[in-house]
A and B are shown apart, each in its own frame.
Chain A
């Protein structure tokens, strides 16, 4: 039986009083890649953003239910949201490096934690850039502006940046959708590498990517009421070859997009 690191229990998110996702209960296994798939608008990103409390930033959002990380309810009282976000990192759909140097991008996380020692920062920067398979490409231009990098390189930089706070979980919201096929492949290879140390949860609208890369898959769908629900969750193999729900099967076989 897999060890569970993240779990949602009857999770519902309301925007301005209207539910966007409802009653989501799922378990994310440790050091595996879990993909969340489904048609656009079904609430995948909303769900993902619950794991690191990024929905807090939206004033009209309200969350009910529980999100457990190592058994502790992230939405419980007395939880330090800053520490949550350090332990559960996020990479966004469109690469968003800071308009600063490559070095400063990766160093930002540790810096705001109070790490000032230059040598320690150097070491963290190199370690994370290596882990993101970017070190060799940028080691001679660490102080160049991050925006001079290509799209794929920027995204790997964002991954390195997220790794710098030593998270346990990496949330990835369609990390390759804005990239060309070669850059996408590099990101997918990187994900498999990273899954040896980190738990990865990835949202993707690309079914083939989910099938290629993930160990477990969650399928979400929004009904006519436009509320997203979890339809099925299971090992990727099983979801794509023997889905238990009719709707999953329809989606997999492309009967609707």
Chain B
């Protein structure tokens, strides 16, 4: 077998050293690795691309519109004859719809998380948890349809002076959509709390509710907080539900019964219109986009830091 075919030690040695075949092979491997590396770098390029695109268009905008006006003017009317470029109404609109969404999703999501983590049997959990994920899989345009054509008429019966486009319907529908975000992440956080803590509390005679509220939730607080922040980020970035149901009238208000416009809906509005590229009016979508990007970036980074920190605690 092996040895008789290659008895000369010199031939053996030579083959072990890198000959032509080996060199070809190694170049091939290097080429593959380089290709794969570039594929991985696409994500870095994408981020650079996003920042570059936003800055390239927003900077000329800010050369014509002062930062002071952008941040402090209470009116946003770039498409009208009398132009105002104050972003506050859009931010207010985004804030209002997100706040409504979170007002619904946080308690409902938290209660779901507590139920699934502390009360539900493994079988029930195995069914309900993926079922809740379905909510996140429904396309947002479907939720938009629901908000405008079903939720709004329903709410109008209870709140007679509700406008057809309003922040409340859109916000509540968005809230339903982000329930799984909060319930899933919070539930993971609750589940990760070591059972020894629970057992100690039970041994002292606490009821399930007391254990959940006094022991488990406080221990999982950072994970829960992270889920809230991520849900907020998701709500801020949501487009179709608000574009369909919340309105296209930038209004500086905290009254959810009124029509407003969010930052995201504004970008859609301009994209659907025929504002020519390269004009100041068109550049507004990049200025707004920049603000939107920065807000979600900050929220996401905070959430990621919190998650990293609480993962270490339970290492």
B2 within 8 A of A: yes
A168 within 8 A of B: yes
> Separation in Å of the A187 CB from the closest CB of chain B?
20
> Separation in Å of the A111 CB from the closest CB of chain B?
15
Q: Chain B, 9-30, contact with A by CB distance < 8 Å: what is the 0/1 string? A: 1001101111100100100000
B9 touches A83 (CB 8 A): no
Known contacts A70-B12, A71-B13, A72-B13, A83 near B2 by CB under 8 Å: no
> Separation in Å of the A80 CB from the closest CB of chain B?
4
A70 touches B15 (CB 8 A): no
Question: In chain A, what residue has the closest Cβ to B23?
Answer: A80
- Which of A202-228 touch B at CB < 8 Å? none
Known contacts A70-B9, A70-B12, A71-B9, A78 near B17 by CB under 8 Å: yes
A84 touches B16 (CB 8 A): yes
Known contacts A70-B9, A71-B9, A80 near B16 by CB under 8 Å: yes
Contact of B13 among A70, A82, A166, A168 (CB under 8 A): A70
B3 within 8 A of A: yes
Categorize the interface residue count of chain A.
Answer: 10 to 19
Question: In chain B, what residue has the closest Cβ to A128?
Answer: B1
Cα–Cα, bound, A87→B9 (Å): 13
A72 touches B2 (CB 8 A): no
A69 touches B3 (CB 8 A): no
Question: In chain A, what residue has the closest Cβ to B25?
Answer: A82
Q: Chain A, 166-180, contact with B by CB distance < 8 Å: what is the 0/1 string? A: 111000000000000
Cα–Cα, bound, A167→B2 (Å): 6
- Which of B10-63 touch A at CB < 8 Å? 12-13, 15-19, 22, 25
A197 within 8 A of B: yes
Known contacts A70-B9, A71-B9, A79 near B1 by CB under 8 Å: no
> Separation in Å of the B32 CB from the closest CB of chain A?
14
B2 touches A79 (CB 8 A): no
B9 touches A197 (CB 8 A): no
> Separation in Å of the A162 CB from the closest CB of chain B?
12
Q: Chain B, 208-246, contact with A by CB distance < 8 Å: what is the 0/1 string? A: 000000000000000000000000000000000000000
Residues of A within 8 A of B25 (CB): 82
Known contacts A70-B13, A71-B9, A78 near B1 by CB under 8 Å: no
Categorize the interface residue count of chain B.
Answer: 10 to 19
Cα–Cα, bound, A167→B285 (Å): 67
Question: In chain B, what residue has the closest Cβ to A166?
Answer: B2
Interface centre among B5, B15, B18 (most CB of A within 10 A): B18
> Separation in Å of the B29 CB from the closest CB of chain A?
10
Contact of A168 among B3, B19, B22 (CB under 8 A): B3
Which DSSP category, helix, strand, loop or mixed, fits chain B's interface?
Answer: helix
B18 touches A78 (CB 8 A): yes
Known contacts A70-B9, A70-B13, A79 near B18 by CB under 8 Å: yes
- Which of A45-89 touch B at CB < 8 Å? 69-72, 74, 78-80, 82-84, 87
> Separation in Å of the B267 CB from the closest CB of chain A?
46
Residues of B within 8 A of A197 (CB): 1-3
> Separation in Å of the A131 CB from the closest CB of chain B?
8
A80 touches B3 (CB 8 A): no
Cα–Cα, bound, A173→B33 (Å): 31
A72 touches B16 (CB 8 A): yes
Cα–Cα, bound, A214→B12 (Å): 27
Question: In chain B, what residue has the closest Cβ to A199?
Answer: B3
Interface centre among A69, A72, A84 (most CB of B within 10 A): A72
Residues of B within 8 A of A79 (CB): 16-18
Question: In chain A, what residue has the closest Cβ to B2?
Answer: A166
> Separation in Å of the B146 CB from the closest CB of chain A?
46
> Separation in Å of the B10 CB from the closest CB of chain A?
10
B22 touches A80 (CB 8 A): yes
> Separation in Å of the B253 CB from the closest CB of chain A?
58
Question: In chain B, what residue has the closest Cβ to A169?
Answer: B2
B2 touches A168 (CB 8 A): yes
> Separation in Å of the B2 CB from the closest CB of chain A?
4
> Separation in Å of the B7 CB from the closest CB of chain A?
11
Cα–Cα, bound, A66→B198 (Å): 56
Question: In chain B, what residue has the closest Cβ to A127?
Answer: B1
Residues of A within 8 A of B19 (CB): 80
**What are the 8 A-B residue pairs with the smallest beta carbon separation, nearest first?**
A166-B2, A80-B22, A80-B18, A72-B13, A78-B17, A78-B18, A70-B12, A197-B1
11 A–B pairs (Cβ distance < 8 Å), ordered by A: A70-B12, A70-B13, A70-B16, A72-B13, A74-B16, A80-B15, A83-B15, A84-B16, A87-B12, A87-B16, A167-B2
Q: A70-B9, A70-B13, A72-B17 are in contact. List 12 more A-B contacts (CB 8 A).
A: A69-B16, A70-B12, A71-B9, A72-B16, A79-B18, A82-B25, A83-B15, A83-B22, A166-B5, A168-B2, A197-B3, A198-B2
